[in-house]
Amino acid sequence: MKRRTFVKASAAAGLQGILASRMAPAFAQGTALAWIRWNDFVPASDQLLRSKIIPEAQKALGVRVTLETVNGNDLQPRATSAIQSGSGPDIFCLLNNWAQLYADSTVDVSDVAEKLAKEQGGVYPTNSSVSKVGSRWIGMPWATVGLLIAYRKSWLAEVGYSTFPDTWEKYLDAGKKLKAKGHPIGQTLGHTFGDAPAFWYPYLWSWGGREVDEKGKVVLDSKATVDSVRFMTGFWKDAHDEGGLAWDDTNNNRAFLSGEIAATLNGASIYIESLRKPEQYKTDKGGPMKDDIAHAALPKGPAGQFSYHVPFTNTVMKYSKNAKAAKEFLTWVHSKPVYEQWFVSQKGFSVAPFKDWEKHPMWAEDPIMTPFKTATSTGRMMGYAGPPDKRAAEVISKYIITDMYAKAVQGMKPEEAVKSADGELRKIYGQA
C-alpha cells in the first residue's frame, strides 16, 4: 500500500472538511492550549511538532498550542503540582501507567478514543490497559515506544552468535565472551522510567515471577523470582557493564554509540541516531555503525519470552478551562494525515496505538526497523497478572522490582532481596 493511498483511504471526512475549508471550528477560535511532553529521543519529531504540526493546528482549529518538552523523569512531579494547584498544562502526555495515578483528575475522553480506535483498526491492549479505568478512557493513547535489544552484529558474530541469543543462558555465554573482549552488555539498573522497567519486568516474567496472581494476591516471593535474581547476580558480574547501576535512560545510548557496549535494551533511538550521523558513529573497523546494528527481542527464560514497551497517553486535565478544545485537538492530531507526519518522523521509534498503522508503508523502508512493527502486540504491563492500576504505578514509581535486582547484584542474598521487595509490594497492595 502506498503512503498516499493509505492516507486517502482512511482520512476522516470531517477533518478533511476542516482542512479544506481552512476555517477553524467556531467554538475553538482564539483558544490557547498547553501541551507537555517528554524530550523526544528523536529530536526531529519535537521539531516537527513545533515547526509544522502546531502551526497547522492553529490554522485548522483556531487553537494556539504551546508545546513544552521536559525530561521524562520530571513529568510526574509536574503533573502532581499542576493537579494540586489546579493550573498547568491542559494536556499531559504521560508515560507508562502514570495516567492511572491521576485518573480522578482527567477528563473522560471515551468518545474521542472509541471513535479513533474504531476508525484506525482497534487499539492495542498495552495502550488500552493504561488509558482506561473500567470502561472510561482517562486518556487518549498517543503511541508506544517499542523496546528491543539493539546489538552489534559483528561483535556478536565474533563470539559465535550469528543470530542473537534466544535464551538467557546463551545471552550469558555471549555476554561473558563480549565482556572479556571489552564490549560488555549494557543495561540500566538505576532509578529511571524507561529502560529499567522495560528490561527488569519482562526478565522477571520470563522466569515465571510476577507481582500478583490473577486474584490480586502478591506472589512475588516465589522460587521463580529467586531463581531469576540468583541468575542475574552472576550474569551482571560476568557479562554486564557494572556501571549500569547508575545509568539513566540516556547512558546506554551514549555507551553504545561510542562503542563501549555490545548490546542493550532500548528503543530504536540508537539506530536512528546512527542513521542520522553515519559519519560520526563508526565501528572499530571504520565502517558506519548503522550497518552493524540489528534489533532482537529479549531472550526467553524458563517461563517464556516477554516484553514491556512504554506506552504514552495524552490526558486532558479536569482543571483545564479548554477541555473541549483539547479533545478537538487530540481528535485532529490523531487524524491520519496529521498523525502520519509525526509517525513517519519517528522512523519506527514509536508504534501507533492503533493497529492500522502496522500496515503503513514506512515499515517496508528499513528491514532493521521491522521487528518494532508488531513489538507492542506482545507486551505485558506492570502489575501483571493484575491490572496496571494505581498500585502497580506506585510499585514502579518506587522502583521496587528494579531495586530488587540492584540490591542482589550488589551483594544482598537473592532470597533477602526478593523477600524485601515482596514485603514492600504487600504494603502497597494492602496485604501486609
Partner 1 sequence: MLALALLAPAVVILVTFIAYPFVMAIWFSLTSIRVGDPGHFVGLANFTKAWEDSIFQTAFKNTVFYTFWATVFKLTLGMWLALLLNRHFRFKRIVRASMLLPFIIPTVLSAFAWRWMFDPTFSVVNWLLYHTGFIANRLPFLSNGDWAMWCAILVNTWRGMPFFAITLLAGLQTINPDLHEAAALDGANAWNRFWHVTWPLLLPVTLVVVVFSVIQTFSDFQLIYVLTGGGPANSTHLVATYAYQLGVGTGLLGEGAAISLFMFPVLFAVVWIQLKYLKRIEAA
Spatial contact of 230 and 173, defined as CB atoms under 8 Å apart: no
- Using CB under 8 A as the binding rule, the residues of this chain from 259 to 278 that contact partner 1 are 260
> Contact between 81 and partner 1 (CB under 8 A)?
yes
Q: Which of 10, 58, 73, 110 binds partner 1 (CB under 8 A)?
A: 73
C-alpha cell at 86: 489546579
CA–centroid distance for 49 within its chain: 19
Amino acid at the residue 244: G
**Cβ-based nearer residue to partner 1, 121 or 243:** 243
196 closest CA partner among 395, 6, 351: 395
**Cβ-based nearer residue to partner 1, 29 or 71:** 71
**Cβ-based nearer residue to partner 1, 121 or 423:** 423
Rounded distance, CA 71 to CA 313, Å? 16
DSSP lists the bridge partners of residue 70 as: 38
> Contact between 136 and partner 1 (CB under 8 A)?
no
Stretch that binds partner 1, among 200-208, 216-224, 354-362, 399-407 (CB under 8 A): 399-407
- Using CB under 8 A as the binding rule, the residues of this chain from 206 to 245 that contact partner 1 are 241-245
**Cβ-based nearer residue to partner 1, 76 or 144:** 76
> Contact between 200 and partner 1 (CB under 8 A)?
no
Q: Which of 246, 277, 365, 431 binds partner 1 (CB under 8 A)?
A: 246
130 closest CA partner among 351, 320, 342, 390: 390
Q: Which of 394, 401, 418, 425 binds partner 1 (CB under 8 A)?
A: 394
Number of Cβ atoms within 10 Å of the Cβ of 316: 27
Rounded distance, CA 321 to CA 32, Å? 10
Place of cell 485537538: 329
* x/- letters, 86..125, toward partner 1 (CB under 8 A): ---------------xxxxx--------------------
Positive or negative torsion for Cα 206, 209, 212, 215? positive
> Contact between 423 and partner 1 (CB under 8 A)?
yes
Q: Strands, E, within 253-332: which ranges? A: 263-266, 293-296, 310-316
Residues forming the site for partner 1 (CB under 8 A): 73, 76-77, 79-81, 83-84, 101-105, 189-192, 241-248, 251, 254-255, 258, 260, 393-394, 397-399, 403, 406-407, 410, 420, 423-424, 427, 432
